[in-house]
Amino acid sequence: MLVTFTVNTKVADALAQVPTKDYVRLNALMSEVADLKEEGMALITAKIIPPGTGDDVAARFVVASLAKYVSQFGKEEDKRMVERGLQNALKAASDKEVQSFYLTQLYFVASSASVNTLSQYLQDDKLCDASVKVLIAIASPSAGQVMLKALEAAQGIPALALAKAVGQLKMEAAAVTLTNKLEASDPNFQRVLLESIAMIGSKTSIGLLTERASKAQYLYEPTGAVNALLTYANRLGEKWNLDLSEKVLEDILNNCKDIKQLQFRSAALALKVKYWGVETLSLLKSEFDHENKAYRAGVMNLAAGLLDISATRQWINKAVEESGEKRAEIVEMLGRKGDPALLQALVLALTDTSSDAVRLAAIEAIANIKDENATKALEGYLLSGQDATATAKALSRRLDAAHLNRLSAALETAPKSAKVEII
């Protein structure tokens, strides 16, 4: 005799099988639960209760697993069903924690159809943040509009969450509202407002943001004015408004020269390289003349990313012009490229008798070149007896039996320092 299970029975059966770590079985179970449609969804969400009032672990597990399951490609019909079920459950719930749980699951399935429902929680201190995250995920014009409208009257926690959100969505229409809230805000909220204004990247914001950075004397302070200006320059670059972006970056470079401002100068320099590439070579060479070693290291990191051969040649020439610590820094940077074409210049650096640092940097740089000639160059240098320990260490990453045989054959005539390392 065939037994017809009711939806109630099927829900109870599903709840009895969770939690489970069997992913294959869980997927099959969620397919069965999805087939129960709105009726089954309502029966399961009805079992979710406020913390401390009973055991709803199984019901929460099924709802959370179902939301993730239907978010997979090709399950659009089930996804919309779960979205409607979560909307209904959210409206029916009165406990904030339960509502927050439903909002968290909506993140995986929400569409523009949820915007009106979500808008009801945008002024709630406890639910605003979760609602905003869902609206950001929806990212439709209507989602942006309800957040912008809510921001106009928002205070406290909701205002903070909404200000961040419209910035993340880069809503041009939000720039005026964000600007209007600046004067009556505490420093922490001002920081969020300035960052969001910067992320939007409106041409009209340049005066406000440069004024704020100037007022802060281009130093770190609670509102993060200089960081916002850097974000603005980057956003302008993303929008291909390169003339305005360059103007902002030049302003930062001209005003950030003190040691306390070098982090901002480094960030501005990185943006110049990001959007202008090899055109910044002269600027990088000039910045390398800075007395601060940590700042020069940042310059070298940027230079290492410029793979243009003409840029590499100019750095080789710059290395010849420099001496001591600075020359070693350039040699180390060139070595990161691992380019066999650099071998001759790096071998030349091994002859620098005035600086141990240069020679040691050259050894490491040559070791980074995956080429037989580089290995031979290091073998020859080891047999000279100069910097034998460092050379042997570098070679140990590269040698095979054939190379060891060559060194063994030269052992008898090698200097004592080389013999020790070869043995």
DSSP states of 60-78:
HHHHHHHHHHHTSTT-HHH
pLDDT at 170 over 90: yes
For range 183-191, the mean pLDDT: 89
Give 18-54 pLDDT, tens digit per residue: 999 999 999 999 999 999 999 999 999 999 999 999 9
For range 104-124, the mean pLDDT: 97
Q: Which two tokens stand for residue 128?
A: 């605003």
Residues 235 and 200: beta-carbon distance below 8 Å = yes
Supply the DSSP string of 335-400, one letter for each residue. Answer: HHT--GGGHHHHHHHTT-TT-HHHHHHHHHHHHTS-SHHHHHHHHHHHHHTTTHHHHHHHHTTT--
From 87-91, 127-131, 397-401, the region with the lowest mean pLDDT: 397-401
Provide, for the chain, the percentages of residues in helix, strand and coil under a 3-state DSSP scheme, each rounded to the nearest 5: 75, 0, 25
Question: Pick the residue with more confidence: 251 or 414?
Answer: 251
Give 310-327 pLDDT, tens digit per residue: 899 999 999 888 889 999
CA–CA dist 205, 65 (Å, integer): 44
Contact partners, residue 126, CB within 8 Å, separation at least 6: 96, 100
For range 292-313, the mean pLDDT: 93
pLDDT at 2 over 50: no
Residue 143's nearest CA partner among 176, 172, 165, 175 is: 165
Residue 175's nearest CA partner among 148, 157, 150, 137 is: 148
Within 114-184, residue ranges assigned H as helices are 115-119, 128-138, 141-153, 156-168, 175-180
Give 120-157 pLDDT, tens digit per residue: 999 999 999 999 999 999 999 999 999 999 999 999 99
Question: Pick the residue with more confidence: 352 or 190?
Answer: 190
CA–CA dist 118, 139 (Å, integer): 13
For range 374-401, the mean pLDDT: 81
Q: Which two tokens stand for residue 275?
A: 């959007």
Percent of the residues in the chain that have a pLDDT greater than 90, as a whole number:
76
Contact partners, residue 116, CB within 8 Å, separation at least 6: 146
Half-sphere exposure of 360 (CA within 13 A, CB side): 9
CA–CA dist 250, 255 (Å, integer): 9
pLDDT at 407 over 90: no
Tell me, what's the pLDDT at 288? 96
CA–CA dist 45, 95 (Å, integer): 13
Tell me, what's the pLDDT at 375? 85
Residues 379 and 347: beta-carbon distance below 8 Å = no
pLDDT, mean over the chain: 92
pLDDT at 387 over 90: no
CA–CA dist 201, 236 (Å, integer): 6
Percent of the residues in the chain that have a pLDDT greater than 70, as a whole number:
93
CA–CA dist 143, 226 (Å, integer): 30
Can you give the pTM of this predicted structure? Answer: 0.86
The count of other CB atoms within 10 Å of the CB of residue 198 is 28
Q: Say if residue 19 is preceded by a cis peptide, omega within 30 of 0.
A: yes
Tell me, what's the pLDDT at 173? 94
pLDDT at 397 over 70: yes
For range 172-177, the mean pLDDT: 95
Residues 145 and 112: beta-carbon distance below 8 Å = no
pLDDT grade for 411, boundaries at 50, 70 and 90: low
pLDDT at 1 over 50: no
Tell me, what's the pLDDT at 399? 65
Supply the DSSP string of 90-111, one letter for each residue. Answer: HHH---HHHHHHHHHHHHHH--
Q: Which two tokens stand for residue 368?
A: 């980074």
The residue extents of the domains of the chain are 1-109, 187-306
Question: Pick the residue with more confidence: 279 or 417?
Answer: 279
Q: Amino acid identity of 192?
A: V
For range 365-387, the mean pLDDT: 86
Tell me, what's the pLDDT at 238? 97
CA–CA dist 287, 290 (Å, integer): 6
225: exposed, middle or buried (C-beta count within 10 Å: 0-12, 13-18, 19+)?
buried
pLDDT at 4 over 60: no
